[in-house]
Amino acid sequence: MATIPEFLEKGEIARLIPIVADTSKEQRIVSATLAVMSAVPAYAKALLGHFGLRVGVKSRINTFTEIGFRGDTGEISGRPDGLIEVHNIKSSWYGIIEAKIGSQSLQKEQIERYLALARNNNINAVITISNDFSSRPDHHPLKISNQLLKKVEIFHISWKSILTEALLIYENGELIDPEQAFLLRELIRFLSHDSSGVESYTRMPAQWKEFVANVAAGVGARKTDPVTELIVAGWNQEIRDLALQMSQKTNRKVSLVMSRAEEHSTLKHLQTGIATLVQENQLIAKLRIPDTASDFLISADLKSRTIQVSMLITAPADRKTTKSRLNWLLRQLAKSDPEGIAIKLKWPSRAMDTVFPLKALQESPLIADQSGGKSPARAFEIAQTFDSPRRFVGRETFIQEIENIVPQFYENIGQHIQAWQPKPPKIRNSGSEPAEVLETAISIDKKLPPTGNDHTNLIELPPFLIRPSNQI
């Protein structure tokens, strides 16, 4: 049985069915989640992997709730919702848990106090859980001073992400026995119920409608405007939630594509989104679904008030004409609904890209040959555009349309396309023996005209390499 760490004054082992007041939603959901985490190693490994931890076969996961620290008086004090202990043979890792549920928001002052508490007790990290979404676990929703993070790390994970990890492990059935599967199933049932307080991202910031109207009227977004940052932050939350939804729908882990600089900096990721919005009047993101032919580009154009999702497919290089390359793609889309789908042909020359409805190309692929240059198309961009200005400006309807169009596009288009791969080279088999090959090469060489000076008579051996005739 696990014992509480020395730095705690008190603490309860996390229970699957905690005895708490009816109003204590946070205690109930934290206790149940931590209890399943300590009982299902595969689930613990998946969740702790978000925080850069490797959980080995011999690692022991202990989880506690209702914790209190020794000497819990004075300025630096607090009662976090839980504690995770990862005990290895030579070392232990500790993480404080602070959770919010429903519409409750994380409080900066409280989190900073817990960071100081963690530092004073040699605790490795503070982990926050709420219905806020972040691009990565190390991209925290709150702006925390780096001074507080010198010895303690801070991570954030949404309740939706915790639910998604449970779903993926349960559906894949990896490394879990019947008892563990039962625990995961019960946790999934609990977290999926409306009463649990787990929520998706359902609406853009309150300034969304006015902001879109200004951009559409020609008043561009300003880099220094706090509302611009708020809009981009809302978009980033929605895309992260969308990635989790797609993970649940495909039963594969869907990720947000970012540059290396963005991956290592919350601020850089936010700044990139702001720059794109200011310069192009667009909100843009990429999702990566494992084993698909390309990433999915999602863009919301505030000027035209349209949403588009697209894939860029490299044309097969072993086909020499645009028609044959296009037919390779059309065969894969034979069962797809062409309604609202357009294909853009990208040419290797200076010829402008050309766009055709999928339906028109299915009826007559030859129209593509007549639009480009002499060289065949190098790539195809397949896109679906949602055009409804009225729903675009709605805080909730904007989110609804994105969460409709992306899964529909994947089901109709994305899951049917396989990327072109060059064929492996074959062993050259001429059927000739080595002596015959050499003889053929010599006979061919005799027929060829001289290509330069003949240096064979200029080869001279140094004296020390010349043998006397009687030693030959």
Tell me, what's the pLDDT at 465? 53
Phi, psi for residue 309 in degrees, rounded to 5: -125, 135
Question: What is the rounded CA–CA span in Å between residue 252 and residue 414?
Answer: 14
Q: What is the mean pLDDT of the chain?
A: 88
Sorting pLDDT into bands at 50, 70 and 90, what band is 410?
Answer: very high
CA–CA gap between residue 195 and residue 148 (Å, rounded): 35
Tell me if 221 sits within 8 A of 277, measured CB to CB: yes
pLDDT tens-digit map of 18-27: 988 877 889 9
Whole-angstrom distance, CA of residue 42 vs CA of residue 173: 10
The DSSP output letter for 40 is -
In DSSP terms, 297 is beta-bridged to 286, 310
Helix, strand or coil, per DSSP, at residue 393? coil
Q: Which of 51-55, 65-69, 460-464 has the lowest mean pLDDT?
A: 460-464
Neighbouring residues of 423: CB distance < 8 A, sequence distance ≥ 6: 318
Q: Note whether 116 and 38 are within 8 A (CB).
A: no
Task: Dump pLDDT digits (tens) for 429-466.
Answer: 765 555 554 455 445 455 555 555 555 555 555 665 55
pLDDT of residue 425: 87
The DSSP-derived string for 91-148 is: -EEEEEEEE--TT----HHHHHHHHHHHHHTT--EEEEEES---SSTTS-SS---GGG
pLDDT score of 463 = 62
Q: For residue 82, give the amino acid letter.
A: G
Q: What is the pLDDT of residues 202-251, one digit of tens each?
A: 999 999 999 999 999 999 899 999 999 999 999 999 999 999 999 999 99
Average pLDDT over residues 330-358: 92
Sign of CA dihedral 340, 341, 347, 348: positive
Contact 81, 113 (CB under 8 A): no
- Helices 395-412/208-216 angle, 10° precision: 80
Helix ranges, 137-295 (H): 159-172, 178-192, 208-216, 226-250, 260-263, 266-280
Return the pLDDT at 433.
54
Mean pLDDT of 52-69: 90
Nearest-angstrom CA–CA distance, 135 and 454:
70
Quote the pLDDT of residue 297.
98
> Residue 388 pLDDT more than 80?
yes
136-158: average pLDDT: 91
User: What pLDDT digit, counting tens, does each position of 163-210 carry?
Assistant: 999 999 998 876 678 899 999 999 999 999 989 999 999 999 999 999
| Residue 431: predicted pLDDT | 57
Contact 162, 176 (CB under 8 A): no
Report yes or no: 361 and 326 within 8 Å, Cβ to Cβ: yes
Residue 444 φ then ψ, to 5°:
-65, -40
* Burial of 60 per CB tally in 10 Å (0-12, 13-18, 19+): middle
Q: Give residue 472's pLDDT.
A: 46
Structure confidence by residue, pLDDT tens digits, 247-297: 999 999 999 999 999 988 888 999 999 999 999 999 999 999 999 999 999
What contacts 17, CB < 8 A, 6 or more positions away? 32
Do 11 and 85 touch, CB atoms closer than 8 A? no
Residues 6+ apart with CB under 8 A from 252: 168, 289, 290, 291
- pLDDT reported for residue 466: 58
Strands 153-158 and 125-130, sheet pairing: parallel
Boundaries of every domain in the chain: 8-196, 208-416
In what helix (H) or strand (E) does residue 63 lie, and over which residues does it extend? strand 60-69
- As given in the structure block, the two tokens for residue 115 are 């960071």
Task: Please answer whether residues 244 and 160 qualify as being in contact, where contact means their C-beta atoms are separated by less than 8 angstroms.
Answer: yes
pLDDT of 60 > 50? The answer is yes
**Mean pLDDT for the stretch of residues 39-55:** 92
- How many other C-beta atoms lie within 10 A of the C-beta of residue 172? 12
Tell me the average pLDDT across 368-375: 72
**What pLDDT, in 10s, does the model give residues 456-471?**
555 555 665 555 555 5
In this prediction, residue 283 carries a pLDDT of: 97
